[in-house]
Amino acid sequence: MIKRKDLYDCWYHGTDRKAAKLIYKGNINVNLGVGELGQGFYMGNFLHEAKAWAFHKNGKNNIQNSVIQFTIKPFLSLKYRYIGTKRARALYKKNKINNGHRTFKFNKDLIHSKVFMVERYDFQQLKWESLKGEKTVNTISKALLK
């Protein structure tokens, strides 16, 4: 299990240009995003994956100004949960069957898990899902990658 203190320093989020500008200005809304672990704002530890998301969001347009890099340190005051791959897959399947996978929340500020839709042992994701998590992620240092 990965401990909170062992989180990577750099995380990435790929999106469209309009959303990237809002995110960069500190306007993240955790109720808008959806991913493997339900509703929330996601980021991963691989730049190339964020670029792939940006390409997907922008279509054939250039992905310039569509990837945000976040530099974070562990937040001990946040309600944090690490979800193992087996548990994450089981929750995803259960919630997808019940049509709840788009709105599912763990009632934590920050969820950390391996990305289980991609077969890479070291591909990690963070999901910010509470208002406290939203406030925190809106204040951490970030850079709009050119």
pLDDT per residue as tens digits for the range 46-59 = 998 899 888 888 87
- Length in residues, the chain: 146
The single-letter DSSP state of residue 57 is H
What are 63-109's pLDDT values in tens digits?
678 899 998 876 668 898 888 888 888 887 777 656 655 678 889 99
Q: b/e string for 79-97 if b means 16 or more Cβ within 10 A? A: ebbbbeeeebbebbeebee
Give pLDDT, residue 94: 77
Compute and round to an integer the Cα radius of gyration of the chain. Answer: 14
If you ran DSSP here, which 8-state letter would residue 66 be given? -
Closest CA to 105 of 4, 30, 44: 30
Q: Is 131 helix (H, G, I), strand (E, B) or coil?
A: helix
Predicted pLDDT of residue 23: 93
Tell me, what amino acid is at 80? Y
How many C-beta neighbours within 10 Å does residue 143 have? 12
CA distance 64 to 11: 17
How much is the pTM? 0.85
